[in-house]
Amino acid sequence: MNLRAITVTGRPFIRSHCNIMETADRNYYITTPIYYVNAHPHLGHAYSTILADAAVRLHRELGADTLLLTGSDEHGDKIAQAAEKRGMAPKLFVDEISSSFRDLWPKLSIKYDTFTRTTDAAHVAIVQKFLQRIYDAGDIYFGEFGGHYCYGCERFYTEKELENGLCPQHQTKPQFISEKNYFFRMSAYLPWLREFLENNPDLIRPTRYRAEAMAMLENGVLEDLCISRPKSRLTWGIELPFDQDYVCYVWFDALVSYISGIGWPDGSQFERFWPGEHLIAKDILKPHAIFWPCMLKAAGLPIYRHLDVHGYWLSRDTKMSKSLGNVIDPLAMAQKYGLDAFRYFLLREMRFGSDASFSEEGITTRINADLANDLGNLFSRVLSMAAKYLDSTVPAMDGINSDDSELAEPCRETMANYIQLAERMEFSLALENLWQFVRSLNKYVDTQAPWSLYKNKELDKLHMVMGGLLAAMRKIAICLWPVMPDAAEKMLAQLGCESRLGPDMPLANIEKEQASFEWLPAGLKLAPSSNLFPRMEASPKNAPASDKKDKDAADTPKIEHVDFDTFKKLDIRVGTIVHAGKHPNADRILKLEIDFGPGGKRHILSGLAEAYNPADIIGRKICAVLNLPPRKIRGLVSEGMVLTAEDDNSLTLLAPDAKMSNGSIIG
């Protein structure tokens, strides 16, 4: 078995153990979008915020001081219209919806540091100060403009920007409005921005969105930016400091949240954390890739470090939309499938920058395949073997160097790849890389066969194998803390390790952990068993009772009678499983060696892998049919059939009630 060849989708990764984190000696500041509160939070909002939370947790593990800012964007036409539809004053309406965002995040294990609202008095004052600075510099002017106004986007479009006369975002016909307004002289900064993007190719990630921003700059559709709305048609906004008859354009207002929330211009957090990193969905690329850098440049402020752009979550192959009725409630999903499993699914399923499809079948598949079969199975079987062979105690490893373990170098390489990918928000690839290592550990158990080492009294080798597995499992838990914080702490607790370095602190310094591979302390008490991720059964929900009854009737098997002479031909005997391992070419099949006493030993293949760990069934009495013709399954021959009982929820080995000797006849 080659434990060292670890790649993801055919992509080899750098094997360096140094300089993993170029930002380890600085602070890390990341923002989510400032969510527009014309409706309650949905799956897309949850994904962005969970992703930002995972990034912050990773950088905390890397030793950085971190700050996560999120918040609510509460001004503009759509807010005023939504409030009017509800028969509420705008402020009462945004208070209610903003609270639904603020209250949701802790329920998804998200720990933000700052929640900024664009209606907060402090934010209003800072927006006005920012506007006044640019106005005083001569970059805001008053003029008359006629343009195509989309109320959905709350912005003017030029003729060049429209697609067949329609808003490119909403595919609706904008209303032509001619009015006097204030304009930000953005066109003066576009040549600078083009050069800045050329010189900083990693500013916008993934690169396809940098290319999209460059195309905007090169196709000539960008002009000066209208940054006001006359109070004669909109009063719900921040008043301009230099003209009380106008309010600020909602996007200009919201973008300033990224610095108002950390106390620009004089606050200590601004001095410590700016410039930061922004995380957004692809539909708001233009304001963040074009408007915001030009605004910062005009105000004389440093540009952000990175703009990270993710795709859409699709439901039934369509972008989620309240109007289409395909919006997913994130809290309901977390409560139904488990918070850690839900967080894992979101970060594992979406390749960063691309769209991803959401389905409950997809969650169930991930839970069963990745969490139950792979990770859960690893913890269950190793801790069960430790209970049997080591009395649930980490063995002494006197004279044995941990670097001599076959797992040491693959573990270091896996962690290095994981950190490099996750730092770039590519958590899907980072987790895929980590899971290759998890699967390799399960195969390592099969090839090293601790049960045989114990039986043959090869205790030094047994300790080496078990010690390496336990050490690697601890590293996996440390890697998973950003993604599944509660589950990671449970994993460490089952390994007898401290689950925290201190209150609200990360599990460990992941960079230091990556550089070394050390045994767990001898004598540490382990949990005797583990059931971290039970399998989920996929079943239709809320089916009408009559439909269920009909289905149950249809699923009831028809009993076909056989005569007694036919039954007497079956040779069913009692045996004891003396060896068990996974079929090398079939994930659901176990390869069993069974002792039938005078009848000798036989190899029988059985679909037990989803119900039993191989180590747990060694020594079990079973019943098996022996006079079936040999059958080849995926390259291996099976010499009989083990008897089981099965219902909708479980599968159980059949065994005699009393102690019977191997080879006893059942009939």
Annotated catalytic sites, by residue?
A: 42, 45, 150, 153, 167, 170, 319, 322
* Nearest of 241, 227, 234 to residue 143 by alpha carbon: 227
Which alpha helices (H) appear in 235-325, and where do they start and end?
Answer: 250-255, 257-260, 268-273, 285-286, 292-298
In which element (H, E) is residue 623 found? Answer: strand 621-625
- Geometric angle at alpha carbon 462, from 458 and 465, rounded to 5°: 145
* Nearest of 95, 328, 305, 66 to residue 203 by alpha carbon: 305
Q: 390, 469 in Cβ contact below 8 A?
A: no
User: How far is the C-alpha of 472 from the C-alpha of 122, rounded, in Å?
Assistant: 49
Pairing of strands 28-36, 66-73: parallel
* Nearest of 1, 135, 8, 85 to residue 420 by alpha carbon: 8
* Cα distances (angstroms) measured from residue 225 to each of 43, 60, 251, 395, 586: 31, 38, 11, 68, 61
Cα 464–chain centre separation: 33
Long-range contacts of 216-220 (CB under 8 A, 24+ apart): 216/286, 216/289, 216/290, 217/190, 217/193, 217/290, 218/194, 219/160, 220/160
Q: What is the three-class DSSP state of 581?
A: strand
* Cα distances (angstroms) measured from residue 87 to each of 78, 81, 83, 84, 92: 14, 10, 6, 5, 10
* Nearest of 380, 387, 379 to residue 480 by alpha carbon: 379
* Nearest of 361, 280, 370 to residue 47 by alpha carbon: 280
Q: What is the three-class DSSP state of 643?
A: coil
DSSP 135-187: HHTT-EEEEEEEEEEETTTTEEE-TTTSBTTB-TTT-SPPEEEEEEEEEE-GG
Residue 511 DSSP label = H
Residue with tokens 């370095």: 501
Q: Which two tokens stand for residue 344?
A: 């894992």
> CB-hemisphere CA count at 13 Å for 471?
29
